[in-house]
Amino acid sequence: MLARAIASSAHWVRPLSTAAVSSCFRNAGALPEPMRPIRIRGRSGIPMSEEKTFPEYMSCATPGAPLVLSPVAEGHEDMDLDDWAKAVKAELDHNLAKYGAIYFTSVPELHTPQDLAMLMRSLKYRLHEDSHYQQMMAARSMTSTKLSDVVRTASDEPPEYAIEPHSEYHTAGLPHKIALFAHGQVPDYGGEWMVVDTRRVMEDLDKAVVRKFDELGACYKVFYESRDNSVIGYNNWQTNINCDKGKVEEYLKVRGYDWKWNDDDSLEYWKVYPAIVPHPVTGERCWFNQIHAQHKSFYYSHPKYRDMPRDSDRFPVNTTYGDGSEIEPHVLSHIRSIIWRNCHAAPLRTGALLVQDNYLTLHGRMDYDGHKFPKREVSVSVTYS
């Protein structure tokens, strides 16, 4: 229990002891199973899910995948949100690199996105960085809403869209931890978080595939229309970078991109990144990329792009091998199948906080019934340490 003493006219707060912090949460075993099995093979909106190698159902979580913790209220009645943040941080510092993700069934005093912002600041991780990632987030006004300087809605994408498991913008500032908080209405079925263990992905991928990407890296290509010609409102260079072409070019130059302007005022830029990187804490080699998630095949069934020829170079994003050669369809299918095979469903529960290591896990979102649940109230915050 937190004791407070008053010395002279100043208030002195006794910090939580190591024993007190370690007793704040207990292991709650495995996550609850979804209300019914989550079929993913052949599911609309999941690229290449019709392939025979694609798993039929998403796996249920097992103990430790992720680590599930519940708060121990007895003996901690006087703790405020800052105190609970210390307990959360102790668990993250001790266990996150081991398990890759920690699911807190609840955190006392954590109820709103504003509370999440307070908790994130109390964790004392680096929350701000002058990076491409922060500019990308600022440009995501169509797909994510800013709630504070450190908290956004997790996604405003239409509920019928499934969001493939992916690393969070590995090309743009390298966020380290991702905190997802369900604070209001959430679906009882559908809309599940996804947790993918990238250690298992590295183990299961064909060694020749890993070796080739390790040697060549992956080239990430971005195509932006001019705002006057944009198929999707936010997918233009004026919204995402700057309205001044000179500032756009300076922005790309500083970040090491190659680029070209097309006759119709559209912009293309690209850069090669490693597909496998060392973990910032453990040093282990991590499958840390968006090779599948940013490949143009994502758009083949998209209503705005389904009529576009598949050899077109005007999809919003695309990936190739680092030498510019196309990634073979069977390689993409293999990568996706392995990722989904190692994907666990994390059912939403109001009040739950899921923290994922961005290097050791992928995250995503299943589609859900937007008529029954018009607003999925989930917020997100990221750290850079």
pLDDT tens for 181-195 read 998 888 888 889 999
Phi, psi of 261 (to 5 degrees): -100, 135
So what's the pLDDT on residue 20?
A: 53
Cβ atoms of 276 and 286 closer than 8 Å: yes
What pLDDT was estimated at residue 205? 98
Q: Are 14 and 1 in contact (CB under 8 A)?
A: no
**Stretch 199-207: mean pLDDT, rounded?**
98
**How confident is the model at residue 10, as a pLDDT?**
34
Residue 125 pairs in a beta bridge with: none
Is the pLDDT at 292 greater than 70, yes or no? yes
Residue 372 pLDDT:
86
Query: Checking phi first, is residue 8 left (phi over 0); if not, alpha (psi -120 to 50) or beta?
Result: left
Residue 381, pLDDT > 70, answer yes
- Give the mean pLDDT of 188-208: 94
Q: How far is CA 159 from the centre of its chain?
A: 17
| Helices H / strands E in the chain, number of each | 9, 20
Q: What does the pLDDT read at residue 13?
A: 36
- Residue 268: which pLDDT band, with cuts at 50, 70 and 90? very high
Residue 261 has pLDDT above 60, yes or no: yes
pLDDT: which is higher, 131 or 25: 25
Instruction: Tell me the pLDDT tens digit for each residue of 75-99.
Output: 888 899 999 999 999 999 999 999 9
pLDDT per position as a tens digit, 133-144: 455 555 444 567
CB neighbourhood size of 267 (10 A): 22
Of all residues in the chain, the percent with pLDDT exceeding 90 is: 56
User: Which of 56-70, 96-110, 296-310 is modeled with the greatest confidence?
Assistant: 96-110
Give the per-residue pLDDT at 12.
33
Q: 178-208 burial by CB neighbour count: b if 16+ within 10 A, else e?
A: bbbbbbeebbebbbbbbbbbbbbbbeebeee
Per-residue pLDDT tens over the stretch 144-177: 788 888 898 888 788 888 889 999 875 655 778 9
Q: What percent of the chain has pLDDT over 70?
A: 87
Q: Are 192 and 33 in contact (CB under 8 A)?
A: no
Decide if pLDDT at 17 tops 90.
no
Specify the amino acid at residue 112.
T
DSSP letter for each residue of 95-140:
HHHHHSEEEES--TT--SHHHHHHHHHHTT------SHHHHHHHT-
Q: Rounded to 5 degrees, what angle do the CA atoms 225, 301, 379 make?
A: 75
pLDDT at 199: 97
Mean pLDDT, the chain, rounded, equals 86
Q: What backbone phi and psi angles, to 5 degrees, belong to 228?
A: -70, -20
Question: Regarding beta strands 101-104 and 67-71, do their DSSP bridges make them parallel or antiparallel, or are they unpaired?
Answer: parallel
- The arithmetic mean of pLDDT across residues 191-204, rounded, is 95
Burial class (CB in 10 A: 0-12, 13-18, 19+), 120: buried
> What's the whole-number mean pLDDT along residues 278-286?
94
Give 219's pLDDT tier (boundaries 50, 70, 90). Answer: very high
Domain limits, the chain = 18-205+336-383, 218-273+292-326
Ranked by mean pLDDT, which of 59-63, 84-88, 296-300 comes out on top? 84-88
Mean of pLDDT values over 87-114: 96
Arithmetic mean of pLDDT, 370-378: 83
Say what the pLDDT of residue 22 is. Answer: 63
> Quick check: 232 pLDDT over 70?
no
Q: Is the pLDDT at 9 greater than 50, yes or no?
A: no
254 CB-near residues (< 8 Å, 6+ apart): none
CB atoms within 10 A of CB 337: 20
Give φ, ψ of 57 to 5 degrees.
-130, 150
Radius of gyration of the chain, Cα coordinates, nearest whole angstrom = 22
Q: Residue 14 — very low, low, confident or very high, per pLDDT cuts 50/70/90?
A: very low
> Hunting for tokens 């529960």 — which residue is that?
349
Summarize the confidence of residues 56-76 as an average pLDDT: 88
> Is the model's pLDDT at 4 over the cut of 50?
no
The CATH homologous superfamily for domain 18-205+336-383 is Clavaminate synthase-like (3.60.130.10)
For residue 267, the model assigns a pLDDT of 96
Task: Report pLDDT for 249.
Answer: 96
User: What pLDDT score does 171 carry?
Assistant: 61
Give the mean model confidence (pLDDT) for residues 117-138: 72
